Amino acid sequence: MKKFMNEVDSILAESLRGLGQAHGELLRIEEEPTYVARADAPVRGKVALISGGGSGHEPLHTGFVGRGMLDAACPGQIFTAPGPDQIVAAARAVDGGNGILFVVKNYSGDVMNFEMAAEMIGSPCESILVDDDVAVEGSSYTTGRRGVAGTLVVEKIVGAAAEAGASLQDCAALGRRVVRATGSMGVALTSCTVPAAGRPTFDLGEDEMELGVGIHGEPGRRREKLATADDIAAELVGAVLDDLAPPPGREMLLLVNGLGGTPMMELHLMYAAAARIAEARGFRIVRSLVGNYATCLDMAGCSLTFSMLDDEMKGFWDAPVHTAALRWAA
C-alpha cells in the first residue's frame, strides 16, 4: 500500500486541516467534535442544509459546503458514519432560525445517527433519505437501496432552493421529489485500499469487473469479464432507465461520476457512450456533469446517474453555487 499519509489515525484530521487552509474564504473546520461549516454560517432566515457520512468519498460531502449547497457536513472516519455529537454540534452552529434539513444516504449507521441527532437538536427538523442505487435492494450496510452519487444532485438542487429562501417543508418536499426522479449504478474495475486495513476491499482479477458495486466496495449485481466501454455503458444505462421508467422525450440530467482512480479521459468517453444510448432510447440530456464527486478512495471505476428534470429542478440546478468542489455562476 502506498498512500500520502503520516499516521493512519490522523489522516482525516490532517486532510480536513488542509481543506480549511485551501478554502478558508468558503468554510471553517471544527475538530472537537468534527464538522465543516460555511464560513458565513449561520445565515439568518435560511433553512440550514446538513449532510455527512464516512470519509473516503471526497469531495462528497465536505467539498460541497458553501453558498448554494450545504451549510455543514459531518465527516466520519473512513467508511464510518459520523456520530450524533458531530451532527448536533454542526446543526447548532449553522441554524439560521428557519429549520434544519438533513440529507442522509441510506446506510444503517448514517440513518441511525442522524435520527438520534434530530431528536437531540430541539429545532424544527426534516430529513431526506437518498436511496438512488438501482443495483441492489439491500446489503449489510442498508435496508433497501444505497445512497450514492445521486446525493450530489439532491444537495445541489435543494441547496439552491434553501439559498433562495424556500421553507423547510418546501425544501424537504423538493428533495424527496428529486430522490424519486434519480437513479444510479456503478461499475468497478479495481478494488480500493482502505488505509486502516492496508489491503484491498475485495479481490478482482485483471480481466474482471464488478457491476453494481457500492461506494464502500460492497458487492454488486455480479462479477464478470471486462467488457468494452459501450457494453458497460449499455448495462448501466439500461438498468437505471428501466428502473426510473421515464416517459419518452423526458429531459434528463446525466452525471458520470468517477470512483477515485479513473482518468477524466475515460470518464468523458463513458459520458459519450451513455448519452448516445440514452438519446437513442428517446430521452433528452439537457444537463450534465462529469468528474470525481462521490468516490471510493482509489477505486478505478465509475457510476452513471440519471435525474428526470422538471423546470423547477433545472432552475435550481442552474442556480449559482460556490463550494470547494463545485462552482458556477448564474
Q: Report, as residue numbers or ranges, the catalytic residues.
A: 57, 216
Distance from chain centroid for Cα 293: 7
Q: How many residues are present in the chain?
A: 330
Grid cell locating 128: 431526506
The HSE-up count of residue 58 (CA atoms within 13 Å, CB side) is: 18
Which whole-number Å values give the CA distances from 135 to 4, 40, 234, 261, 276, in the listed order? 32, 39, 14, 21, 21
Grid cell locating 238: 439500461
Collect all residues with Cβ–Cβ distance below 8 Å to 52 and sequence separation of at least 6. 35, 61, 73, 74, 75, 76, 81, 82, 86, 87, 90, 110, 114
Residue 306: how many CB atoms within 10 A of its CB? 30
